[in-house]
Amino acid sequence: MSWFVYILRCADNSLYTGITTDIHRRLEEHNHCDKKGAKYTRARRPVVLTYQESLDNRSLACKREAAIKKMSRQQKLTLIKTKPSSTS
């Protein structure tokens, strides 16, 4: 099973980073589910998938998520430009 690190662009133009095993399900949860969507994105809907990266296991995905979260906004935008989501 593959794990994904993803970046969403929220309606207020902020960026949200997370991990999942199912990008499409998770995007649906962020946009429509008050119980399973992240509290951060609930108030900033709709969200759009702007970046995704596949990793071999949860541990690597968590480490990559942490690294992305430490990036500045400009670094994240550069990352999105160099490797945009194939499903956006």
* Domain edges within the chain: 3-82
44-88 pLDDT, tens digit per residue, is 999 999 999 999 999 999 999 999 999 999 999 999 998 877 554
Q: What is the DSSP letter of 60?
A: H
2-50 pLDDT, tens digit per residue, is 999 999 999 999 999 999 999 999 999 999 998 888 899 999 999 999 9
- DSSP-derived 3-state class of residue 19: strand
Cα 32 to its chain centre, rounded Å, is: 16
Tell whether domain 3-82 is in CATH 3.40.1440.10: yes
Q: How far apart are the C-alpha atoms of 34 and 71, rounded to whole Å?
A: 28
Instruction: Give the predicted TM-score (pTM) of the model.
Output: 0.92
Tokens of 72: 């500045």
